[in-house]
Amino acid sequence: MKKNVVMFLLVLFYLIELPAQVYKSNQPLANTFSIVARDTVTGDMGVAVQSHWFSVGSIVAWGEAGVGVVATQSFVNPSFGQRGLELLKNGKTAQEAVDILITSDEGRDFRQLAIVDSKGQSASYTGVKCIAAAGNIAGDNYSVQANMMLNNTVWGAMSEAFKQSTGPLAERLITALEAAQKEGGDIRGKQSACLLVVRGKATGNLWEDRLIDLRVEDNPNPISELKRLLKVYRAYEHMNKGDLAVEKNAMNLAMDEYNAAMKMFPENLEMKYWTAVSLANTGEVDKALPMFKEIFNNDKNWKELTKRLVPVGLLTVEQKNLNLILEQ
């Protein structure tokens, strides 16, 4: 109870001290920790954030393929996201973009901002009136920043965790968030998180350029949930590749992809179903039958769906094998 009263008074103090033009703009108080970074191998860029604030990703994380990524937080100035990307597109460096945005903002003392561009240049800023503990570290190809943290070691822990991590960029970004939480994280607790990854080089197609866009809007353990969603995303990467293989009638490849997804989530009926279909289409009906039986026992609608695959050529078994499948 005492902690809640202290926090209320602290936030009230900052609202009273906040310049009128900042307060009247109704900008959200997204006190949080975040990382913006670029993968030196693929060139892909990403943002990951966590906060005790609803839907933090919708206001903090910004990115555009071939341009850069931005995190705008503390007493958020949402315009920093789009304006920052526009400045990068107009040839400004990450540092120049940060300087221009901060200099032009009368509420700069309450802001926190970080940018990484497509070349890996980084820059970040923490206003002198951001709620303690607050700070940032800008390094090669990344920047970490945090405010209203329980401890002043949070952003340092994020920096070290990211530098020492390996693997795909998305997983490395979550590793940095986990390190922040392990150090104490947001003094208020946990609520929402976001993970955004865009291509290092734009294709011109938004659906191809935005590689990962995952949000946890309201959850008691948002980083854990974000990590789970990323694993689901990886599994469905295999599913999508399996679908593409089916389109090209490459059934063996489809089976491999569907099976890879199923191994990641063996309880997922969708993944198990298409693995069974692929097995049947490649002549391994005997292996598929137990899987069909389990699926049909869980939900009879999958049996009805199976009948509908035949006319469109997605299930290409002989009639006797179709009968065997439907008998399960």
User: What CATH code is carried by the domain that includes residue 273?
Assistant: 1.25.40.10
Confidence at residue 158, expressed as pLDDT on a 0 to 100 scale: 98
Confidence at residue 252, expressed as pLDDT on a 0 to 100 scale: 87
176 and 246 assigned to the same domain: no
Confidence at residue 251, expressed as pLDDT on a 0 to 100 scale: 83
185 and 256 assigned to the same domain: no
Confidence at residue 26, expressed as pLDDT on a 0 to 100 scale: 52
165 and 271 assigned to the same domain: no
Task: Residue 56: give the domain boundaries.
Answer: 22-220
98 and 201 assigned to the same domain: yes
156 and 279 assigned to the same domain: no
Domain assignment of residue 289, yes or no: yes
**Averaged over 192-211, what is the pLDDT?**
95
Domain assignment of residue 82, yes or no: yes
- Domain CATH number, residue 97: 3.60.20.10
Least confident of 61-65, 98-102, 261-265: 261-265
Q: Is the pLDDT of residue 5 over 60?
A: no
Q: Is the pLDDT of residue 215 over 70?
A: yes
pLDDT in tens, 98-140: 999 999 999 999 999 999 999 999 999 999 999 999 999 999 9
Confidence of residue 28 (pLDDT cuts 50, 70, 90): low
**Averaged over 252-281, what is the pLDDT?**
92
172 and 253 assigned to the same domain: no
54 and 180 assigned to the same domain: yes
Final residue belonging to a domain, choices 160, 191, 220 = 220
**Averaged over 65-75, what is the pLDDT?**
97
Q: Is the pLDDT of residue 167 over 80?
A: yes
75 and 109 assigned to the same domain: yes
Confidence of residue 14 (pLDDT cuts 50, 70, 90): very low
The structure's pTM equals 0.87
44 and 159 assigned to the same domain: yes
Q: For the chain, what percent of residues have pLDDT higher than 90?
A: 84
Confidence of residue 20 (pLDDT cuts 50, 70, 90): very low
98 and 155 assigned to the same domain: yes
Confidence of residue 30 (pLDDT cuts 50, 70, 90): low
Domain assignment of residue 13, yes or no: no
Final residue belonging to a domain, choices 188, 220, 252 = 220
Q: Is the pLDDT of residue 12 over 50?
A: no
Confidence at residue 9, expressed as pLDDT on a 0 to 100 scale: 40
**Residue 304: CB atoms within 10 Å:** 11
Give CA–CA dist 39/48, Å, rounded: 14
Q: Is the pLDDT of residue 325 over 50?
A: yes
**Averaged over 284-309, what is the pLDDT?**
96
Domain count within the chain: 2
Q: Among positive and negative, which fits the CA dihedral 230, 235, 238, 242?
A: negative
Domain assignment of residue 156, yes or no: yes
Confidence at residue 34, expressed as pLDDT on a 0 to 100 scale: 98
180 and 303 assigned to the same domain: no
Domain assignment of residue 6, yes or no: no
Final residue belonging to a domain, choices 193, 220, 247 = 220
